[in-house]
Amino acid sequence: MNIHEYQGKEILSSFGVRIQRGIVAHNAKEAVDAAKELTALTGTGWHVIKAQVHAGGRGKGGGVKIAKNLKEVEDITGQIIGMDLVTPQTSAEGKRVHKVLIAEDVYYPGANEPEEYYMSVLLNRSTGRNMIMYSTEGGMDIETVAEETPELIFTEEIDPSVGLMPFQARRIAFNLGLSGTAFKEMTKFVMALYTAFDKSDSSLFEINPVLKTSDDKIMAVDAKVTIDDNALFRHKDYAEMRDIREENPVEVEAKRVGLNYVDLDGNVGCMVNGAGLAMATMDLIKQAGGEPANFLDVGGTADAKRVEEALRLILKDDKVKAILINIFGGIVRCDRVAQGIVDACKNMGDAVKVPIIVRLQGTNADIAKEIIDNSGFNFFSATEFQEAADKVQEALK
């Protein structure tokens, strides 16, 4: 589950990670009140107005702006809220901004120049261990750094039996070229950050930039936090941070009815039982010259109700030109699935406008094929994998 920057910062702060402080606002008036409150709290006169959407690169798209007085806070908030923010990480239509974070300006002048670093915490899947990835090249897009100057990206892997060790935090501070107060601040920052990652059951922290202020404080200026969905049951307060306006509406609907659905860009809808078969089916569609429109695992119970729910989900995507149903009847009998498909289509009437290729294999596959062939619907039946692929190709023509 992804959350907003301001929510990520709340979590970091609750574990003692220093953050750029801010208050969330839903309109210009709230923004001005927030700015006044922040000035009283932090002494800052300047504020940063930051669009809160689930996408990075907001700065580049005009979603992060400095306000030098309350009038500017009001004006800029007015401009940003309601805009469709386009960044390198959004679609061309962009993302509608519903709220902004009014934050203290932390790039104030002082003894030293402010410096930006990159830091993320994530699972290294090849070693099965968490790691901290960091770089002196903060503030910019880390993919570019990885491509052009990979030697400037460092990693520190954490042994799960002992956790992050203080010497590792010191190595990070050293590699970032820090000394004195900033060095101590960074080791504290890193230790707290890792604790936060671990205790919050997150699967990703990306802090870009981590800032060294002109007076040598280390803080998180940005926070991209992804929490492991499977752990939300033990973090009710984090679960409430879900903002479904930021999520794909079809995926939200799928979750509500308990289907494993992932939206994709193609033209062939898929309904499959079992994640492995679903992956293989997507390959099959590609081989047949189509592109899968979704991943959908209907699980073990493919009865009429379930099939109908799945069909309705798939058909919400108007790019879908054909649907491939590929179900292996091991525990569930193929004839019952076939009847389920027919009943679902009867029930849906003319909502089903595209051809459906049905491949049912397993127990009673022959009876199932008969049911499909005699249904009177725009169905193509298949029993073999390749046959299904050919029929998808035919249907797309």
Catalytic residues: 118, 206
Report the residue count for the chain.
397
Q: How far is the CB of 26 from ligand GDP (least distance, A)?
A: 19
C-beta atoms surrounding 287 within 10 Å: 12
Cβ atoms of 78 and 51 closer than 8 Å: no
Q: Which residue in the set 4, 18, 58, 333 belongs to the binding site for ligand GDP (CB under 6 A)?
A: 58
Q: Is the peptide bond before 209 cis (omega within 30 degrees of 0)?
A: yes
Q: Which residue in the set 8, 22, 56, 340 belongs to the binding site for ligand GDP (CB under 6 A)?
A: 56
Element (H, E) at 361: strand 356-362
Q: Which residues have a Cβ under 8 Å from the Cβ of 89 and sit 6 or more positions away? A: 55, 56, 57
Q: Is 208 in the site for Mn ion (CB under 5 A)?
A: yes
Q: How far apart are CA 347 and CA 307, in angstroms?
A: 11
Q: Is 115 in the site for Mn ion (CB under 5 A)?
A: no
| C-alpha distance from residue 216 to each of 106, 116, 219 (Å) | 11, 12, 10
Element (H, E) at 250: helix 249-257
Binding at 48: pick from Mn ion, ligand GDP, none (beta carbon under 5-8 Å per type): ligand GDP
Q: How far is the CB of 187 from Mn ion (least distance, A)?
A: 23
Q: Which is nearer to ligand GDP, 100 or 298 (CB)?
A: 100
Residues 93-122 that bind ligand GDP (CB under 6 A): 105-107
Binding at 369: pick from ligand GDP, Mn ion, none (beta carbon under 5-8 Å per type): none
Q: Is 139 in the site for ligand GDP (CB under 6 A)?
A: yes
Per-residue string for binding with ligand GDP, 301-340, x by CB under 6 A?
Answer: ----------------------------------------
Cβ atoms of 340 and 364 closer than 8 Å: no
Q: How far apart are CA 353 and CA 378, in angstroms?
A: 9
Residues 207-246 that bind ligand GDP (CB under 6 A): 208-209, 221-222
Q: Which is nearer to Mn ion, 222 or 297 (CB)?
A: 222
Tokens of 205: 């922290």
Q: Alpha carbon 84 to chain centroid distance?
A: 18
Per-residue string for binding with Mn ion, 4-23, x by CB under 5 A?
Answer: --------------------
| Burial environment of residue 111 by CB neighbours within 10 A (0 to 12, 13 to 18, 19 or more) | exposed
Q: Which is nearer to ligand GDP, 208 or 326 (CB)?
A: 208
Q: Which is nearer to Mn ion, 119 or 307 (CB)?
A: 119
Rounded to 5°, the CA angle 156-17-195 comes to: 50
Q: How far is the CB of 57 from ligand GDP (least distance, A)?
A: 5
Residue of 389, 383, 263, 365 whose CA lies nearest to 315 = 263
Q: Which is nearer to ligand GDP, 59 or 299 (CB)?
A: 59
Q: Is 18 in the site for ligand GDP (CB under 6 A)?
A: no
Q: Which residue in the set 1, 64, 76, 196 belongs to the binding site for ligand GDP (CB under 6 A)?
A: 64
Q: How far apart are CA 145 and CA 151, in angstroms?
A: 9
Q: Which is nearer to ligand GDP, 5 or 335 (CB)?
A: 5
Q: Which residue in the set 5, 10, 185, 222 belongs to the binding site for Mn ion (CB under 5 A)?
A: 222
Q: How far is the CB of 175 from ligand GDP (least distance, A)?
A: 21
Per-position b or e across 185-206, b if 16+ CB within 10 A of its CB: bbbbbbbbbbebbbebbbbebb
Binding at 107: pick from Mn ion, ligand GDP, none (beta carbon under 5-8 Å per type): ligand GDP
Footprint of ligand GDP (CB under 6 A) = 48, 50, 56-59, 64, 66, 105-107, 139, 208-209, 221-222
Footprint of Mn ion (CB under 5 A) = 208, 222
